[in-house]
Amino acid sequence: MAAKVLVLLGTKKGAFIAESDAERRSWKLRGPFCETWPMNHVVADPKTGTIWGAGGNEWFGPAVWKSTDLGETWTHSSDGLAYAEGEEPIKAVWSLAKGNGSLFAGVQPAGLFRSDDGGQSWEHVKGLQKHPSRPHWNPGGAGLILHSLVIDPNDHDRIWIGISAAGVFYTGDGGKSWEPRNLGTRADFMPEGENYPEFGQCVHNLVMAPGMPDRLYQQNHCGMYRSDDGGKRWVSIEKGLPSTFGFPAATHPRDPETLYLVPLNGDSAGRYVPDAKAAVWRTRDAGREWQAMRSGLPQENAYIGVLRQAMATDRLEPAGVYFGTSSGALFASADEGESWVNVTQHLPSILSVETLVVD
C-alpha cells in the first residue's frame, strides 16, 4: 500500500487534517474536529496512528482529545488535569509528547502532566513545580505556558521543556528533579547587565536533532541557538538571518545538520515576515550558514506570522516541510523547502502543525 501523509493542524476553532499521497501534489482537507475547541497542539503516534489534541481555554477548560481512526471520531478527557485546590486553575493544554508508553502534556499556567493510559487520565508531575525558581517565573506577554516538550528517544527519563518566559529546564530522572539549561541564551528585556540569567529567558520553541539527542535547537524571543551538550551551553546561530526574532523551528527527519526557521520582524515591527516577503530559512550545516527558501511563497504584501508550533517536517524522501500562518494558510514543500505550494487558506488561525505518515 502506498504511503499516505496527514498534516495535523491545531487551530483556534478546532483541529483539521490535510491529507495527500506520497507525491504530496494534491490535498484533501477534513475538519473542523473537536467541537471547534481551540486546539493548541495536535500530534500522532507514528506506530499506532492514534491522534491526540491539546486544547481548551478559560471558557472550555483544559482537555486532551483523542482519535483512534485517523480523525473520523474523537473523545476527550480532563480527568486529573488540575492543580491542587487553592492553586491557580489550568486554563488549557498547550503541548503533547509521547515517550516510553506515557503521554506527556504541558499546560498553562506552566506545569507538566503524564498519562499512562493513552490520555484517559492524568497525573501531575510535581517535581517541576517544586523547583526553587518557580515563584519567580514570569508569565511574559502571552501567559506562563509550557509549550515545548522534547523527550530523548533512547532514554525517556531525559526530558527538556520550554516555558515562556522561564526558559529551558531539563530532567534526567523522569521529572522528579529539574535544572535550568539556559547558559548562553539572552534575555534582552532584562535590565542592563542581567541579560544572561540562570532562568527567565523567553524560549519560543525547542526541538531535537534526529539521531543526536544532545543536539538541541532553540528559537528564542532574543535569538536563535544550538546546543550540542543537551542544553548545558548554547551558541548563537542567528548570523546570516534577517532578524533575531521568530517562533517556530523544525528539524529534518534524518539529517541533524538541517534546520528550518521562519524569522519574523520583532516586537516593535509587527511580528510578520521581514519586508512582507515570505521565506523559510534553511541551514544544512547546523546554523553556520543560512539560505532563504522562497520559491512559490508570496513575495508581496505578505504580512503573515507563523506561531511557535506551526511548522513541521514529514519522514518521506525527500522530506516534506509544512508551515501554517496565523491568518489561516497552510504551505507545503515536497522537496525539503526548495519549492512551495499553498495547500489551503482561510482556516482559523493555525496554532500547530505536525505530520503523520501512514504506510
pLDDT in tens, 160-208: 999 998 999 999 999 999 999 999 999 888 888 888 989 999 999 999 9
- 39 — pLDDT class (breaks 50, 70, 90): very high
Cα 105 to Cα 95: distance, rounded to the nearest angstrom: 6
Closest CA to 131 of 171, 87, 85: 171
How high is the pLDDT of residue 114? 97
Asked if residues 290 and 260 have their Cβ atoms less than 8 Å apart, the reply is: no
Cα 145 to Cα 263: distance, rounded to the nearest angstrom: 21
Question: Would you say the C-alpha torsion 321, 355, 358, 72 has a positive or negative sign?
Answer: negative
| CA–CA distances in Å: residue 92 to residues 45, 73, 89, 102, 339 | 21, 22, 9, 20, 36
H or E stretch at 159: strand 159-164
Cα 63 to Cα 41: distance, rounded to the nearest angstrom: 11
Domain 4-358 belongs to what architecture? Answer: 7 Propeller (2.130)
**DSSP letter assigned to residue 309:** B
Closest CA to 242 of 266, 220, 274: 274
CB count within 10 Å of CB 310 equals 28
Residue 231 has pLDDT above 60, yes or no: yes
How high is the pLDDT of residue 155? 95
Mean pLDDT of 314-336: 98
Q: Which residue has the cell 542544553?
A: 231
Closest CA to 126 of 80, 174, 176: 176
- 141 — pLDDT class (breaks 50, 70, 90): confident
Could you check whether the bond before residue 165 is cis, i.e. omega within 30 degrees of 0? yes
- 1 — pLDDT class (breaks 50, 70, 90): low
How high is the pLDDT of residue 292? 98
Residues 6+ apart with CB under 8 A from 244: 222, 223, 224, 238, 263, 266
Closest CA to 195 of 204, 205, 181, 184: 184
**DSSP letter assigned to residue 319:** P
